[in-house]
Amino acid sequence: MTETRADNVNWLTQEAYDRLKSELEHLSGPGRIEIAQKIEAAREEGDLRENGGYHAAKEEQGKIEGRILQIQHILENSQVGEAPRTEGVVGPGMTVTVAFEGDDEEVTFLLASREESGSPIDVYSPKSPLGAAINGKKVGEKATYNLPNGRSMSVEIIDATPYAGN
């Protein structure tokens, strides 16, 4: 199966998009100014080799710049709105219930971008091993995916309904 552009879209709610846009504006404006001031203040303290404040501020600056790039990438490769959804078929924007093979317990989660973490239920990325394995599966079907330890796990799709929001 080839991946089309539509399959690779990250869907964001308007709220998540606005939150990311606001964070980006803060980090690339006041956030950069604040960290530059911290670095300058620490630099004025003298010898940089033994200046913990300077090194901490430089590390914080690196994290801020990394987060700016991450948010820019997310916003450039995302679409605001709802992913096309079909009742009973797993896909982004769906509340999914699965049963793990050999376990009586069912787990329910939202299959969506990690940026939707404001959701009251757990969020699994469609790009995670589990998310990728179940994406496109119908209720009653099974999927197998690989765990980080190299073993595989099977799940059965119990339910897939459009996410109704908070």
What are the tens digits of pLDDT across the range 129-141? 999 999 889 999 9
Q: What pLDDT is recorded for position 25? A: 93
**pLDDT beyond 50 at 21:** yes
| Ordered structural domains, the chain, with CATH | 6-80 (1.10.287.180), 94-162 (3.10.50.30)
Instruction: Say if residues 66 and 134 touch (Cβ distance below 8 Å).
Output: no
Q: What is the pLDDT of residues 71-119, one digit of tens each?
A: 888 888 777 766 556 667 888 878 899 998 888 788 998 888 766 656 6
Higher local confidence (pLDDT), 146 or 17 = 146
Q: What pLDDT is recorded for position 8? A: 56
Span 144-151, average pLDDT: 90
Residue 72 structure tokens: 């820019």
**pLDDT beyond 60 at 147:** yes
Span 6-10, average pLDDT: 55
Q: Can you tell me the distance from the alpha carbon of 79 to that of 76, in angstroms, rounded to the nearest whole number?
A: 8
